[in-house]
Chain A
Amino acid sequence: MSETILQVKNLHTSFPTDSGEVRAVNGINFNVNRGKVLGIVGESGSGKSVTAYSILRILDNPGRITEGEILFHGENVVDYDKTQLRAFRGAKVSIIFQDPMTSLNPVYTVENQLVEAIRLHTPRNPRQARERALEMLQLVGVNEPNKRLKQYPHQLSGGMRQRVMIAMALACEPDILIADEPTTALDVTIQAQILELMMELKNKLGMSIIMITHDLGVIAEMCDEIIVMYAGRVCERGTAEEIFYNPCHEYTKGLLHSIPKITVGKERLTPIAGSPIDLLNMPKGCAFASRCDKAMKVCLNTPPDEIRINNDHIASCWMNVKPVSGKTQEGESKQ
């Protein structure tokens, strides 16, 4: 078991708005271990991006962490002051975003932006920083790096821009790279290139990755450990094998059954009924209950606790619990 470098404990993040409080993250727990890839899977509104922004404390203004701890090597990031945050962001934990066109500044050259990232965190003079920038571009597989340095973001293709983003994020060799839907906007063949690059870099630099996406295929390819999120809560947490071959939460099961699989014959898909939840009107009880065809009365009243399935696997679903009352034992397997 490798060392745990990041621990998120009972994190709650919400956004007070005109229409009420949007509870984007509602008490999640997970760990990130050295050299491992953690995948966060969820659909829109699940809170996965907000989780990433909470870790880096880059939430949009009214958003606030209302409860919980984020322990990086034992220190609580939630308590960091401005100086500590500056030393933390980019240097210890970096992030790459979905759309490289809007996350790169269109009026500065690639060199400018890379060098800025490098000089913010390491003591290098401009010449050394430029050399390092060249190194980084070669590391991420950008061809003709000298030429690319002088170019502007709009002159590069989508895949190239994402590589530049990765170069910027890795310039200071962070412990953790957070990738927020990094390939969603890219073509499939380019996505394959980028994912392969990320795995290569992970092995070379020994860093951990938090991969946030809604694409179950990407998750299966890349991740060692997975958490499935819905409405700001962790439904299920476990290794990739456990999640895919032994899903214990009805939402996870629903997701896995609703994606068309090329290998299986053309049978009707079994979608999850209903629509994603409105975060302004959180029901009591399990957030998924109204869409779940196995929902029980307890699901509507009480949010489920984390139930340990085995050493590597936790699910927050009442279906995994066999109630034992005084006299009778309801022994039906509910899996």
Chain B
Amino acid sequence: MSEYTPDTIPQKRPLSMQLDPALFEPATASEKEQHDIMRESTTFFRDGMRKLFKNPLAVFSLVVLILLVVVILFAPLVVPYGYSQIVTVNGKRDRTAANMRPLTYSEKEQESIDAGQKVFPHIFGTDELGRDYFIRVIFGARVSLMVGVFASIIVLVIGLLYGSISGYAGGKLDIAMMRLVDIIYSLPDILMVILLSVVLGQVLGDSLQGTVFASLGNNMISMFIVFGLLYWVGMARLVRGQILQIKNNEYVLAARALGASSGRIIKKHILPNCISVIFISTALQVPSAIFTESFLSFIGLGVQAPMPSLGSLANLARSALQVYPYKMVFPALGICLIVLSFNLLGDGLRDAFDPKLRR
């Protein structure tokens, strides 16, 4: 550390630079501007996505989910079997093709291969009725995913509406609405689902025949309805909490002072700021819904046969577990993979986007 006095600077110092008097000219404005660097612009979204992609587990699960969706969408185009189609050889039902191990052929199929015909391999084997198991698992995954996603959407919509009204209104309305939430929360959900399924099954009866919903079965519809009636409460509480927090921010007060209506404030100021939390919660809701559906199908209350779901496949595989373990393994693996991926992705999203966790 060198010291200078105001009057002199040593003329020549072998190890230091020469001070050029020209450098003591005033700097121009443009030189100063270049000196001042502004950081590049990022939005909250871009910043969060960057963080998300740095998280290896989240990226991995995202990749897995995308692959899964691709397979689910395109497998039926590749595999020439239907989910309720019993394997036939030369147009005739092949009774020996039941309960085949993965990637094996039945005797009759073997014969036709030797005769020169092409038979698409049974990647997961066949089930007890002689249906290709791979395609059944694929369709099962489809159903499970659809249920998971749609149920979460129902929960999101109802919970969002309810929670935002309750949170923004405050006062007595808020108290009343939250007491209703408390009551619903305390109902035992599985019991309710079973009860409702039975009741709805009788009520809906045959009225759904011929519609799109027929293939899903009454049980499935009642499950959607039950989700709509029961599971929104968690989301409502979450949304209300967020709104209460954000309501106290000064920019909401500023918006009021500007003359913004309540609707505008909720739409433009409050909701966009809690969207990330809601999104994360929805992402974590999907595996929970899938799990519930699998459980219900496992106990026999899920989709109607022949439409498979991962849970019902697991149920059917229960009895023959010791002899044909593969029949349980594939659907169980499917459930695990989907649930785990969504959970990891949801965690990753939370780490990346949750404002409370940011530095």
Contacts and interface: CB of A to CB of B under 8 A. Distances in A.
Direct contact of A and B (CB under 8 A): yes
Given A309-B6, A321-B6, A324-B9, A285 B21 contact: no
A283 B35 contact: yes
B32 A295 contact: yes
Interface in B7-41: 7-9, 11, 17, 19-27, 31-33, 35-39
Given A17-B359, A300-B31, A294 B6 contact: no
Contact of B37 (A18, A278, A321): A278
Nearest to A282: B37
Nearest to B26: A296
A295 B2 contact: no
Contact of A307 (B3, B25, B31, B359): B3
Contact of A297 (B1, B8, B23, B54): B23
A289 B6 contact: no
Contact of B27 (A29, A300, A321, A330): A300
Contact of A289 (B5, B7, B27, B39): B27
Interface in A208-233: none
Contacts of B26: 294-297
A290 B36 contact: yes
Contacts of A16: none
A299 interface: yes
Contacts of A294: 26
Given A18-B51, A323-B21, A324-B8, A296 B27 contact: yes
Interface residues of B, number: 31
A326 B21 CA distance: 10
Contact of B32 (A289, A298, A325, A330): A289
Interface string B148-167: 00000000000000000000
B4 A307 contact: yes
Interface string A296-328: 111111100111110000000010111111101
A281 B28 CA distance: 21
Contacts, number: 91
B23 A301 contact: yes
B351 to A, nearest CB: 12
A301 B19 CA distance: 11
Contact of B19 (A306, A307, A309, A323): A323
A323 B36 contact: no
A274 interface: yes
A280 B39 contact: yes
A296 B37 CA distance: 18
Nearest to A315: B6
A281 B39 CA distance: 8
A300 B24 CA distance: 10
A278 B25 contact: no
Contact of A322 (B2, B6, B39): B6
B58 to A, nearest CB: 15
A141 B31 CA distance: 56
Given A294-B26, A321-B19, 6 more contacts: A281-B39, A297-B22, A297-B31, A299-B27, A300-B27, A323-B24
Closest 10 A/B residue pairs (Cβ): A298-B23, A290-B36, A290-B35, A295-B27, A323-B21, A281-B37, A325-B21, A290-B32, A297-B23, A283-B35
